[in-house]
Amino acid sequence: MDSTKTLLIMIFFIIFGIVFIATGLFFMSDAYLKKLSQSVADEKKSGQLVKAGKLCGSVSMGIGAFTVFCGIIAKCFPSVFPIFALLYVIILIISFSLIIFSLKMK
């Protein structure tokens, strides 16, 4: 890869990593969790929603941190970036599966 392409990849990965981190911080904010718990009358479901919100926030922040890391790796070590790209996709699939299965409520 040429340096322009790796620089663009790094910039976009860092930008979207920060977006993921900001989204995770929003999901874990007290105001959001309070509104989420107030959205249903049942206290058990309310607790489940708060746990799901915290899980989504944690997963989002983890994905964001890994995204920033992959962006830096793309610029510093472009020869190993394809391996990290594959790992990134696998981690995204696992993370989103974790979120989907945690949001299934009975």
For 16, what's the count of Cα atoms within 13 Å in the CB-facing half-sphere? 11
Per-residue pLDDT of the chain (106 residues; tens, 9 = 90+): 688 888 999 999 999 999 999 999 999 999 999 998 888 888 888 888 888 889 889 999 999 999 999 999 888 888 888 898 899 999 999 988 888 887 775 4
Give the distance, in angstroms, between the CA of residue 13 and the centroid of all CA atoms in the same chain: 12
| pTM recorded for the entire structure | 0.83
d(CA 64, CA 17): 4
State the pLDDT at residue 105.
55
Tokens coding 86: 């594959």
Neighbours of 30 (CB within 10 A): 7
Smallest Cα–Cα separation from 64: which of 25, 28, 29? Answer: 25
